[in-house]
């Protein structure tokens, strides 16, 4: 496929075949293809013809294009010069990737005849590979190439090309022992879409192939929905929902990463209750509220529950107790209160003491004035 001798033969018959084509490859390297007659490209590939131009410090016309490989560009030039891109049109290469790359280049430069020829040869190579005991050596590279350049573009031809390679893999999965090949397993592992398409193709074939069960059981790399830190919190038990605010407010301590704004988090104030996410099996260290049984359906449906986390009481002020003189009902209130040990005895209580009935009668008669109209603390 890399044989460019046809260009030398054309240059010997055409003195104007002096143009140079610069090919930029995916790895960043540049390959030069010389002795090109740009006028031989005009009728079949106008896009490539107009890409040539005179460059500074050069007497020859040059063009620069991007391609997946040098062999694909030589295949395009051979087709434009000879009408076919294969050295022997009747011979099978035993490889799939050159035809897929030729199909991609034919689409890029809008050469429909070249595109049809590449598609037909790809299908023929796939059918020929079904009769071999081993798959094509570039099968995995071809699968990656197809999913990178053709899948998701909505073209019927692209979908037909994808169906061809999928049906081939499903039909020869057991015969060519694809499930035991490390490169094929790695391709399915790294490309979950390819594995899903294999399963769909097998289902459309009614799981009649011998390797239908093994295809479903291929390992696949699936992204985890939680980060490592979130998984650690999930293993411990509950992990709290962060509550955000737009304005200023007290920030939560901890869980502040670099680049984040600590002022955007606010402590939830719901009477000592905190909304947390909890797995089905309740973790330890948290007490369920009494209303949890009533909202059990919402907890099962949304995966969260309301738990009670008792707040740590701040250091209390010293308690106040009464002196012995406070037993006098006519003693002035709060004047004989003295501090005592805050940790000794029960907390004091304030009780409103009603006045005797005789005193209430005197107040009614005197208009409510009384020198002893005071509240007592008992």
pLDDT 10s digits, 3-54: 888 888 877 777 778 888 999 999 999 999 988 988 888 888 999 999 988 7
- Which of 39, 46, 40, 36 lies closest to 73, judged by CA? 36
Helix (H) or strand (E) holding 9: helix 5-13
CB 135 within 8 A of CB 129: yes
Q: What are 232-284's pLDDT values in tens digits? A: 555 555 545 444 444 444 444 444 444 444 444 444 444 555 555 555 554 44
Q: Higher model confidence: residue 274 or residue 214? A: 214
Task: Note the pLDDT of residue 207.
Answer: 93
Specify the higher pLDDT residue, 4 or 319. 4
Report the pLDDT value the prediction gives residue 292, as an integer from 0 to 100. Answer: 45
Please tell me the distance from the alpha carbon of residue 198 to that of residue 219, in angstroms, as a whole number. 13
- DSSP states along 107-158: HHTT-HHHHHHHHHHHHHHHHHHTTSSS--TTHHHHHHHHHHHTTTS--HHH
Which tokens sit at 335?
């004047």
Give the pLDDT confidence score for residue 150 in this predicted structure: 92
Whole-angstrom Cα distance, residue 355 to residue 292?
47
Give the span between the Cα atoms of 377 and 351, in whole angstroms.
6
Give the closest residue to 26 by CA, choosing from 132, 145, 125. 145
Give residue 253's pLDDT.
Answer: 45
The predicted structure's pLDDT at residue 91: 74
CA distances from 133 to 163, 191, 204 (A): 21, 25, 25
Helix axes 156-171, 139-149, angle to 10 degrees: 150
Beta-carbon contacts of residue 143 (< 8 Å; ≥ 6 apart): 165, 169, 187, 191, 194
Instruction: Decide: 209 and 171 in contact? Cβ < 8 Å.
Output: yes
Confidence class of residue 334 from pLDDT cuts 50, 70 and 90? very low
Structure tokens at 311: 């707040």
Residue 135 sits at φ, ψ, to 5 deg, of -75, 165
Q: Could you give all domains of the chain from N- to C-terminal order, each with its CATH number?
A: 1-96 (3.30.710.10), 130-223 (no CATH), 228-254+261-308 (no CATH), 320-365 (no CATH)
What are the tens digits of pLDDT across the range 84-138? Answer: 998 887 777 789 999 999 999 999 999 999 999 999 999 999 999 999 999 999 9
pLDDT for 171: 95
What pLDDT sits at residue 153?
77
So what's the pLDDT on residue 15?
A: 75
Output the pLDDT for position 155. 83
Other C-beta atoms closer than 10 Å to the C-beta of 167 total 18
Please work out, in degrees rounded to the nearest 5, the angle formed at the alpha carbon of residue 126 by the alpha carbons of 124 and 128: 70
Burial of residue 310, with CB atoms counted within 10 A of its CB: 0-12 exposed, 13-18 middle, 19 or more buried = exposed
User: Among residues of the chain, what percentage have pLDDT more than 90?
Assistant: 40
Whole-number Å distance between alpha carbons of 378 and 176: 96
Q: Give residue 190's pLDDT.
A: 93
3-state secondary structure at position 67:
coil
Q: What is the predicted pLDDT for the residue at 37?
A: 87
Residues facing 19 on adjacent strands: 36
d(CA 144, CA 149) in angstroms, rounded, equals 9
Asked whether 106 and 75 are in contact (CB, 8 A), the reply is no
197 token code pair = 């398409």
Mean pLDDT of the chain: 74
Q: Give the end-to-end CA distance of the chain in Å, rounded to a whole number.
A: 108
């Amino acid at each position: 496929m890399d044989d460019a001798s046809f260009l030398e033969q054309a240059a010997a018959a055409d003195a104007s075949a002096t143009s140079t084509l610069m090919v930029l490859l995916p790895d960043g390297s540049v390959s030069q293809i010389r002795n090109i007659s740009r006028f031989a490209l005009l009728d079949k590939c106008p896009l490539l013809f107009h890409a040539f131009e005179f460059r500074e410090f050069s007497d020859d016309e040059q063009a620069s294009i991007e391609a997946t490989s040098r062999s694909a560009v030589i295949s395009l030039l051979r087709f434009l010069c000879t009408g076919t891109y294969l050295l022997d049109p009747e011979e099978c290469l035993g490889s799939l990737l050159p035809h897929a790359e030729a199909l991609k280049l034919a689409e890029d430069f809008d050469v429909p005849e070249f595109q049809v020829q590449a598609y037909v040869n790809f299908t023929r190579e796939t059918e020929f590979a079904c009769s071999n005991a081993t798959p094509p050596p570039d099968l995995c590279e071809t699968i990656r190439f197809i999913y990178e350049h053709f899948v998701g573009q909505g073209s019927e031809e692209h979908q037909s090309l994808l169906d061809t390679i999928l049906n081939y893999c499903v039909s020869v999965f057991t015969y060519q022992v694809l499930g035991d090949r490390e490169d094929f397993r790695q391709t399915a592992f790294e490309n979950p879409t390819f594995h899903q398409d294999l399963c769909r193709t097998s289902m459309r074939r009614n799981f009649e192939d011998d390797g239908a069960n093994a295809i479903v059981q291929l390992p696949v790399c699936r992204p985890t929905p939680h980060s490592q830190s979130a998984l650690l919190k999930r293993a411990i038990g509950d992990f709290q929902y962060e509550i955000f605010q737009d304005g200023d407010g007290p920030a939560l301590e901890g869980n502040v990463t670099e680049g984040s704004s600590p002022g955007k988090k606010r402590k939830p104030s719901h009477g000592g209750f905190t909304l947390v996410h909890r797995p089905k099996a309740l973790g330890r260290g948290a007490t369920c509220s009494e209303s949890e049984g009533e909202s059990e359906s919402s907890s099962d449906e949304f995966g969260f529950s309301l738990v009670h986390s008792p707040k740590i009481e701040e250091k209390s002020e010293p308690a106040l107790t009464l002196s012995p003189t406070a037993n006098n009902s006519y003693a002035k209130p709060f004047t004989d209160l003295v501090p005592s040990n805050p940790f000794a005895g029960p907390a004091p209580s304030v009780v409103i003491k009603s006045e005797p009935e005789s005193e209430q009668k005197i107040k009614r008669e005197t208009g409510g004035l009384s020198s002893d109209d005071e509240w007592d603390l008992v």
